[in-house]
Homo-oligomer: A and B are copies of this chain.
Amino acid sequence: MDKKVDLLVRVSELYYEQGLNQSAIADILGTSRPTVSRLLDEAKEDGVVEVIVHSPIKKDPQLSHRLRVNLGLREAIVVSGNYDYEKGLSRCCEAANQLFSTIIENNKTVGITWGSALKILCDLIEPKDYYNVNVVQMVGCLATGNPNLDGLELAFRMAKKLGGTYSNIYAPIYVESEVVYSYLVAEPQIEATLKRAMHTDIILTGIGSLDSNTTLQKAGYLTDRDRIDLIGRGAVGHLLAHPFDKDGNEIPLIGRFAISAPLEAMRAAEWSIGISASEFKAEAVLAAVRGGFINTLVVDQKLANKVLELAQEEE
């Protein structure tokens, strides 16, 4: 048995360390090329050779792969480790930043929403001077006491970091009057921004759930009653201020008009990246994917497992 390991070591050294090809090794060994290929497979299998990817952020390759394949995503990144909500979200944002840095380039339009994921991500972005990058605020303002979670400020800060321009929506996230709504969306700057939001290349967003802790409610834009009502009508999450059910069908919010791009805008982007952490987001995340709003997920291990579990149950 030791003979076998010695052989695996020998072949692996020749292949990986000395860089010979399999047919040269076959000649040395006096065997055939396919046999060398099999030996190298075994060496990997048995842990004689190990391939390490040096990344500052450790990911779970199995989960990433399953998530991507099972949900039909363009890409899925699952950060390893068992973190609490805050820490998990931070790690996801680091991974999202890593991903974003490889996608962003000159002449791209970046659509953003709001929330803590976006804030953390925005902080992480390395300043760089791109040409003709436009950051578009896709949802109206969330006038909480904490302006740095707000799309308005985030778009400004992100544009600054990327050396680009920004398109803002100087309006609240929801209005209750249809007249006001009509006026606002016709307002030239807002109209222009919303139009741009329909043609973004990269969208970065958190994924809204409908638990009682949702920022939307805390900020006073949604009452507990509204929330219960939405849940009663099947809603499980929201994006761009639009709630949707588990299949991604929009559930209208009665008596509120959202000053934001329609959900359709999410489908137009080449990259629509959802960043989210912790199990309680699972339903919303799965629905966002089922609706085709999100084609790329950056999540933590817990959430990934929960989402896959839910997806399984659906059958």
Residues of A near any B CB (own CB < 8 A): 2-3, 6-7, 9-10, 12-13, 16-20, 28, 30, 43, 47-55, 59, 61, 64-65, 68, 74-75, 98-99, 101-102, 126, 128, 270
Contact = CB atoms under 8 A, between A and B. Distances in A.
Contact of A19 (B3, B30, B65, B99): B65
B52 A6 contact: no
Residue among A54, A59, A64 with max Cβ neighbours from chain B (10 Å): A54
Contacts of A30: 270
A54 B65 contact: no
Contacts of A102: 3, 6-7, 10
A74 B2 contact: no
Nearest to A66: B18
B50 A49 contact: no
Contacts of A2: 101, 126
B126 A13 contact: no
A47 B128 CA distance: 25
A53 B50 CA distance: 6
A117 to B, nearest CB: 18
Contact of A98 (B9, B48, B54): B9
A92 to B, nearest CB: 15
A98 B48 CA distance: 14
B98 A10 contact: yes
A13 B55 contact: yes
A148 to B, nearest CB: 24
Nearest to A25: B75
B17 A61 contact: yes
Given A65-B19, A98-B10, A50 B52 contact: yes
23 contacts: A2-B101, A2-B126, A3-B128, A6-B98, A6-B101, A6-B102, A7-B101, A9-B53, A9-B55, A10-B98, A10-B99, A13-B55, A13-B64, A16-B51, A17-B53, A17-B59, A28-B74, A30-B270, A48-B55, A50-B51, A51-B51, A51-B52, A52-B52
A17 B58 CA distance: 11
Contacts of A52: 49-52
Contacts of A3: 101-102, 128
A222 B312 CA distance: 82
Contacts of A98: 6, 9-10
B61 A13 contact: yes
Contacts of A99: 6, 10
Nearest to A126: B2
A48 B9 CA distance: 23
A54 B20 CA distance: 18
Contact of A28 (B20, B59, B75): B75
A47 to B, nearest CB: 7
